[in-house]
Amino acid sequence: MRHVADRAGVSYQTVSRVINDADGVAPQTRERVLAAMRDLNYRPSVAARSLARARTDTIGLVLPFPVDVTFANAHFLQTIGGVDRVVAENDYSLLVSSPDDEDPALSAHRRMVRRRAVDGVIVEAGMGDEGIELLIEAGYPVVAIGHVAAAVPSVRPDDESGAYSATQHLLALGHRRIALIAGSAPDNLAQQARLRGCRRAGTDAGLPLDEDLIATGEFSLESGHEAAARLFDRDVPPTAVLAFNDAMAIGAMRLLRERGIDVPREVSVVGFDDTPTAALLTPALTTVRIFSSELGQRAARTLIGMLRGTKVPPVPAVLPSQLVVRQSTAPVPARRG
Partner DNA sequence: CGGGATCGTGTGAACGGTCACGTGTGTGCG
Partner DNA sequence: CGCACACACGTGACCGTTCACACGATCCCG
Amino acid residing at 276: P
How many angstroms separate the CA atoms of 248 and 38, rounded? Answer: 54
Q: Can you tell me which of 14, 78, 188, 321 binds its own copies, judged by CB under 8 A?
A: 78
Applying CB under 7 A, which of residues 7, 20, 149, 262 lies at the interface with DNA? 20
| Helix, strand or coil, per DSSP, at residue 215 | strand
Q: Hey, CA dihedral for 13, 18, 19, 21, is it positive or negative?
A: positive
Is 307 one of the binding residues for DNA (CB under 7 A)? no
What is the β-pairing status of strands 286-289 and 240-243? unpaired
Closest among 293, 287, 298 to 322, alpha carbons compared: 287
Measured from the CB atom, the residue of 2 and 176 that comes closer to DNA is: 2
CA–CA separation, 80 and 75 (whole Å): 9
327 binds its own copies (CB under 8 A): no
Residues in contact with DNA, counted by CB under 7 A, come to a total of: 31
The least CB distance from residue 56 to DNA, in Å, is: 12
Does 53 participate in binding DNA (rule CB under 7 A)?
yes
DSSP per residue, 32-76? HHHHHHHHTT----HHHHHHHHT--SEEEEE-SS-HHHHTTSHHH
Window 9 to 68, contacts with its own copies (CB under 8 A): 41, 43-48, 50-51, 56-58, 66-68
* Structural contact between residues 132 and 140, judged by C-beta atoms closer than 8 angstroms: no
**Binding status of residue 294 toward its own copies by CB under 8 A:** no
3-state SS string for 1-41: CHHHHHHHCCCHHHHHHHHCCCCCCCHHHHHHHHHHHHHCC
Q: Rounded CA gap, 174 and 179, in Å?
A: 14
Span of 14-22, 246-254, 285-293, 328-336 interacting with DNA by CB under 7 A: 14-22
**From the list DNA, its own copies, none, partner contacted by residue 23 (C-beta under 5 to 8 A by kind):** DNA
Among 21, 38, 41, 52, indicate the residue that binds DNA (CB under 7 A).
Answer: 52
Can residue 111 be called a binding residue for DNA (CB under 7 A)?
Answer: no
Q: Assess 40 for contact with DNA (CB under 7 A).
A: no
315 binds DNA (CB under 7 A): no
Could you say which of its own copies, DNA, none residue 258 binds, taking C-beta under 5 to 8 angstroms by partner kind? its own copies
**Strand blocks (E) in the chain:** 58-62, 93-97, 120-124, 142-145, 154-157, 178-183, 214-217, 240-243, 268-273, 286-289, 316-319, 322-324
Choose the contact partner of 96 out of DNA, its own copies, none; CB within 5 to 8 A by kind: its own copies
- Does the protein bind DNA through residue 25 (CB under 7 A)? yes
Stretch that binds DNA, among 45-53, 67-75, 103-111, 303-311 (CB under 7 A): 45-53
**CB closer to its own copies out of 73 and 161:** 73
Distance separating alpha carbons of residues 332 and 178, to the nearest angstrom? 11
Task: Report yes or no: 273 and 323 within 8 Å, Cβ to Cβ.
Answer: no
Encoded one letter per residue, x for contact with its own copies by CB under 8 A and - for no contact, window 82-121 reads -xxx--xx---xxxxxx-x----------x-xxxxx----
| Residue 81 binds which entry of DNA, its own copies, none, CB below 5-8 Å type-dependent | its own copies
d(CA 330, CA 309): 51
Residue 262, SS3 per DSSP:
coil
Backbone angles phi, psi at 212, to 5 degrees: -70, -20
Q: Which residues bind its own copies (CB under 8 A)?
A: 41, 43-48, 50-51, 56-58, 66-69, 71-72, 74, 77-78, 80-81, 83-85, 88-89, 93-98, 100, 111, 113-117, 137-138, 221-222, 258, 277, 280, 282, 293
Q: Which residues bind DNA (CB under 7 A)?
A: 1-2, 6, 9-14, 16-17, 19-20, 23-26, 28-30, 42-45, 47-49, 51-54
